[in-house]
């Protein structure tokens, strides 16, 4: 990136290690309305963001919708990781012993999926309990 063109290699290495990679899979919430997660089963696509698109809150409008990822970009994730490894290796900043194993990454993905499922079940249970309380 042009902003980091003249940055020192140690700064870049520290920056890369501090960043958290975040890839959105299909149906993951990318943007949430007022911090409340709304689970709906609508598969209708209203808008497809393209290069140069902006979120409404970035241009001064209030958030009125939830945005979810429609597709999963696994190949983009792999390309990004390989590109960054090559970049760090080229500058002798890559420590092969520190790199996480593939199994760890897979387990983290499974844990994330379980957390999402658990959150959905919890929301449904709370809704059912409130409905039952209203009936009583």
Query: Do residues 123 and 37 make contact, with C-beta atoms less than 8 angstroms apart?
Result: yes
Residue 72's pLDDT is 56
Sequence-distant (≥ 6) Cβ neighbours of residue 81 within 8 angstroms = 21
Query: Do residues 23 and 77 make contact, with C-beta atoms less than 8 angstroms apart?
Result: yes
Q: What mean pLDDT, rounded, does the chain reach?
A: 70
Does the pTM of the predicted model rise above 0.75? no
Domain ranges of the chain: 2-98, 100-136
pLDDT in tens, 47-61: 566 665 655 554 555
């Amino acid at each position: 990136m042009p902003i980091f063109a003249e940055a020192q290699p140690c700064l870049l290495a520290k920056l890369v290690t501090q960043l958290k990679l975040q890839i959105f899979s299909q149906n993951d919430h990318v943007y949430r309305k007022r911090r409340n997660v709304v689970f709906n089963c609508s598969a209708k696509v209203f808008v497809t963001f393209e290069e140069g698109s902006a979120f409404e809150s970035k241009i001064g409008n209030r958030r009125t919708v939830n945005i979810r990822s429609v597709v999963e970009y696994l190949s983009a994730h792999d390309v990004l990781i390989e590109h960054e490894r090559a970049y760090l290796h080229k500058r002798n900043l890559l420590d092969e012993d520190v790199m996480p194993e593939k199994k760890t990454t897979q387990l983290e993905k499974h844990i994330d999926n379980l957390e999402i499922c658990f959150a959905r079940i919890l929301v449904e249970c709370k809704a059912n309990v409130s409905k039952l309380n209203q009936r009583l």
